[in-house]
Structure 1
Amino acid sequence: MQRLLMIAGTALLALSVQASAEGDAAKGEKVFRKCKACHAVGPDAKNKVGPELNGIVGREWGAVEGYKYSNALIEMGDGKVWDVETLDAYLTKPKDVIPKGKMAFAGLKKEDDRADVIAYLAQFNAEGATE
């Protein structure tokens, strides 16, 4: 079952990367500095206050092993996937998407910043390699 989810996630990732092409990954890397206190990406990424974000675009909610998600995310996330639209809404104002979630960050107000961060994150597959 996990392998099937991985294959489906990879296919969705390929589609999502195209959808996030309007963002600039290089600029997104700079914007992501705001996120680094709580999140990591790349081959050596580990969970911090928030989960590691490798393969986030196309991944199911609550899917990082070893991370203790909020009950709100678990309850709301059944079958949901972090697609570009959901990530954009979440990065705009996390509490609007998951009202009782753990994320304390207020959000990114600028649409370009959100698109850039999503483009940056979309580069990383589940193992943290860039494609």
Structure 2
Amino acid sequence: MMKTSLVLAAAVLALSAAGAHAEGDAAAGEKAFRKCAACHAVGPDAKNKVGPVLNGLLGSVIGKHPEDYKFSPALVEKGDAGETWNDENLAAWLKNPKEFAKGTKMAFAGLKKDDEIADIIAYLKTFPEK
């Protein structure tokens, strides 16, 4: 009986930890975002670079935010179809931009680690608006 309780407790703890990390760690995401910072900016004084400002990205229409950035037709088409930057779409984009939006002008090859992707998404959620 004791052994069953310990196994069950360990399983619950493991699932809790996995679920918590699936949400991402914003502090780890801040470090991982350095890979993005050459082309993108966040924060109150952020300006478009080669890529758009990423403040307020989550929940926005793909290829439309910020309005003062010229997006590739591949992203504009996704937005015209009603797609938004939710966790799932952003994770797919960060993993492989060219697969997510064939014809995108983004040159970045993508991130391989799912944990790193989740962390960057958590970090971007800390910048809801400019």
TM-score calculated relative to the size of structure 1: 0.79
The C-alpha deviation readout for 1:1-39, integer Å capped at 9, x for no partner, is: xxxxxxxxxxxxxxxxxx997200000000000000100
Identify the residue that residue 13 of structure 2 maps to in structure 1. Answer: none
Query: What's the Cα RMSD here?
Result: 1.6
Tell whether 2:32 aligns with 1:31: yes
Point out 4+ residue stretches in structure 1 off by more than 3 angstroms.
none
Identify the residue that residue 61 of structure 2 maps to in structure 1. Answer: 60
Unpaired stretches in structure 1, ≥5 consecutive residues: 1-18
Matched-pair contact (CA < 8 Å) for 2:22–2:115: no
* CA-CA distance at 1:49 after TM superposition: 0.5
Match of 2:103 among 87, 100, 104: 100
Identify the residue that residue 12 of structure 1 maps to in structure 2. Answer: none
Identify the residue that residue 70 of structure 1 maps to in structure 2. Answer: 72
Structure 2 matches for 1:6-17, cutoff 5 A? none
Unpaired stretches in structure 2, ≥5 consecutive residues: 1-19
Distance 2:93 2:122 in 1: 15
* CA-CA distance at 1:75 after TM superposition: 1.9
Distance 1:38 1:20 in 2: 27
- Structure showing greater radius of gyration is 2
Q: In structure 2, do the counterparts of structure 1 residues 20 and 71 end up closer, same or farther at CA, with 3 Å as the change threshold?
A: farther
Larger deviation: 117-126 or 62-71?
62-71
